[in-house]
């Protein structure tokens, strides 16, 4: 589906340039959620019908990330899905993380310090050079939340492999607009309420099979069972053999809203989304006399920017003292020009 033909599926108010905070649902996702809520209100629907959206979302995410669906686990937040990876590190292990990393991909490692895990924070630009033979795991965001910087993914992975280090990636600010191969890493986690345009409470993870063999499913529950519908009561422990053993029992309605959004992204194609989003971001940058970039998230420093944008009805974010604007499928050139007029008037 071409983007210009798909844009009628969103209903944004003009001036929404803040997908890096949360994405807007396409109509199929919104309508599926309303139908589920209506059924819940009157008790007219069996809950199993809502649960089919979870498997649909798992399958769609696997295709978006380029990995087998049996290597995908479902959860609720990025940090929750990183927790079992952090817990598997041996005492005395060393983790290297960018110093600007969003804390969902920092706190899971720092909390392990009490048992002897060492966390080294380094400048993002020097991440590859900081990886050495003492490094056990490298953790980083594929796209930085604060300023939209796109990490050199393949180069970082190659540097980690050269020192036999694991790689854990937070792709929350990338998946949905930036093409990448999750299978290059050992773990990739995504909170889906931003660029995947799902309700909050949906997160997914790719766990490489060799890594799963070292991980313990400390949050084991009925939904992680080999046959969840036969795992309601009593022993023995009977968990799935694949990544589903790390599943968290899903928040039904969030997944009902997630599946149509992920499937629509597949229909449009991430390469097309990437081209569209970056073009809008570069229109914004060049309009302010800045050089073009390679990200759908950009930051600018303009005196009084937050107040100027607010008066014009433009909704963006402020990160590290700079205005952060982010562009997605429902953004238009008119939205960009509205923001430019506000900032340059």
Residues 250 and 301 in one domain: no
Rounded to whole angstroms, the Cα distance separating 185 from 292 reads 29
User: What pTM did the predictor assign?
Assistant: 0.96
Residue 104 lies in a domain: yes
Residues 217 and 107 in one domain: yes
Note down the domain range covering 251. Answer: 47-266
Residue 33 lies in a domain: no
How does pLDDT run across 284-308, given as a tens digit for each residue? Answer: 999 999 999 999 999 998 888 888 9
Residues 137 and 231 in one domain: yes
Which of 266, 293, 308 is the C-terminal boundary of a domain? 266
Residues 262 and 331 in one domain: no
Residues 19 and 92 in one domain: no
How does pLDDT run across 158-200, given as a tens digit for each residue? Answer: 999 999 999 999 999 999 999 999 999 999 999 999 999 999 9
Residue 329 lies in a domain: yes
Residue 140 lies in a domain: yes
Rounded to whole angstroms, the Cα distance separating 142 from 151 reads 5
Which of 266, 290, 322 is the C-terminal boundary of a domain? 266
Residue 35 lies in a domain: no
Sequence-separated (6 or more) residues with CB below 8 Å from residue 63: 266
Angle (CA) 264-9-53 rounded to 5° is 40
The two tokens of residue 174 are 């990338």
pLDDT at 345: 81
Number of H helices, E strands in the chain: 12, 10
Beta strand ranges found along 146-261 (DSSP E): 166-170, 187-191, 203-207
Residues 233 and 314 in one domain: no
pLDDT at 245: 98
Beta bridge partners of 299: 324
How does pLDDT run across 122-155, given as a tens digit for each residue? Answer: 999 999 999 999 999 999 999 999 999 999 999 9
Please report how the helices 333-344 and 270-287 are oriented relative to each other, as an axis angle in degrees rounded to 10. Answer: 20
Residue 30 lies in a domain: no
> Which of the four pLDDT bands, split at 50, 70 and 90, describes residue 53?
very high
The two tokens of residue 63 are 């295709």
Contact 141, 178 (CB under 8 A): no
Which of 266, 296, 326 is the C-terminal boundary of a domain? 266
Residue 149 lies in a domain: yes
How does pLDDT run across 300-336, given as a tens digit for each residue? Answer: 988 888 889 999 999 999 776 689 999 999 999 999 9
Rounded to whole angstroms, the Cα distance separating 33 from 43 reads 15
What b/e readout covers 32-54, taking b as 16+ CB neighbours within 10 angstroms?
Answer: bbeebeebeeeeeeeeeebbebb
Contact 131, 159 (CB under 8 A): yes
**pLDDT average, residue stretch 275-279:** 98
Residues 96 and 213 in one domain: yes
Contacts 24+ apart (CB under 8 A), 123-130: 123/98, 123/99, 124/98, 124/99, 124/100, 124/149, 124/151, 127/96, 127/98, 127/151, 127/156, 128/152, 128/155, 128/156, 128/159, 130/96
Residues 254 and 279 in one domain: no
Beta-carbon count within 10 A of 26 CB: 24
Residues 7 and 96 in one domain: no
Residue whose C-alpha is closest to residue 177's, from 62, 64, 323: 64
pLDDT at 320: 65
pLDDT at 140: 98
The domain that contains 309 carries what CATH number? 3.90.1150.10
Residue 34 lies in a domain: no
The domain that contains 197 carries what CATH number? 3.40.640.10
Residues 220 and 235 in one domain: yes
Residues 19 and 81 in one domain: no
Domain count, the chain: 2
pLDDT at 303: 86
Residues 332 and 228 in one domain: no
Helix spans in the chain (H): 3-6, 27-42, 47-65, 78-87, 107-110, 127-130, 153-162, 209-212, 252-268, 270-287, 305-311, 333-344
């Amino acid at each position: 589906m071409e983007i210009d033909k798909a844009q009628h599926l969103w209903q944004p108010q003009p001036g929404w340039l803040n997908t890096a905070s949360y994405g807007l649902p396409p109509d199929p996702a919104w309508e599926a959620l309303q139908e589920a809520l209506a059924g819940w209100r009157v008790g007219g629907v069996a809950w199993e019908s809502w649960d089919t959206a979870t498997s649909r979302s798992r399958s769609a995410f696997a295709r978006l990330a380029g990995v087998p669906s049996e290597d995908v686990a479902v959860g609720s937040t990025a940090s929750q899905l990183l927790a079992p990876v952090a817990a598997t590190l041996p005492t005395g292990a060393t983790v290297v993380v960018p110093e600007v990393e969003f804390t969902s991909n920092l706190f899971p490692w720092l909390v392990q310090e009490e048992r002897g895990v060492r966390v080294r924070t380094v400048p993002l630009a020097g991440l590859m050079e900081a990886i050495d033979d003492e490094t056990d795991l490298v953790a980083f965001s594929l796209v930085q939340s604060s300023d939209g910087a796109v990490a050199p993914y393949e180069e970082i992975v190659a540097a980690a492999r050269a020192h036999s280090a694991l790689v854990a990636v937070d792709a929350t600010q990338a998946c949905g607009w930036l093409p990448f191969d999750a299978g290059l890493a050992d773990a990739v986690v995504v909170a889906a309420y931003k660029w995947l345009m799902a309700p909050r409470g949906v997160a997914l993870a790719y766990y490489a099979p060799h890594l799963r063999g070292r991980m313990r499913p400390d949050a084991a529950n009925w939904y992680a069972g080999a046959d969840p519908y036969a795992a309601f009561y009593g022993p023995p422990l009977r968990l799935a053999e694949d990544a589903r053993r790390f599943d968290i029992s899903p928040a039904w309605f969030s997944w009902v809203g997630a599946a149509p959004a992920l499937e629509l992204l597949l229909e449009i194609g991430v390469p097309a989304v990437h081209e569209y989003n970056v073009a809008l971001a570069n229109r914004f940058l060049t309009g302010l006399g800045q050089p073009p970039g390679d990200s759908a998230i950009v930051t600018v420093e303009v005196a009084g920017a937050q107040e100027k944008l607010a008066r014009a009805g433009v909704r963006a974010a402020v990160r590290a003292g700079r205005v952060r604007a982010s562009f997605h499928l429902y953004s238009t050139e008119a939205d960009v020009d509205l923001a430019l007029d506000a900032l340059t008037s």
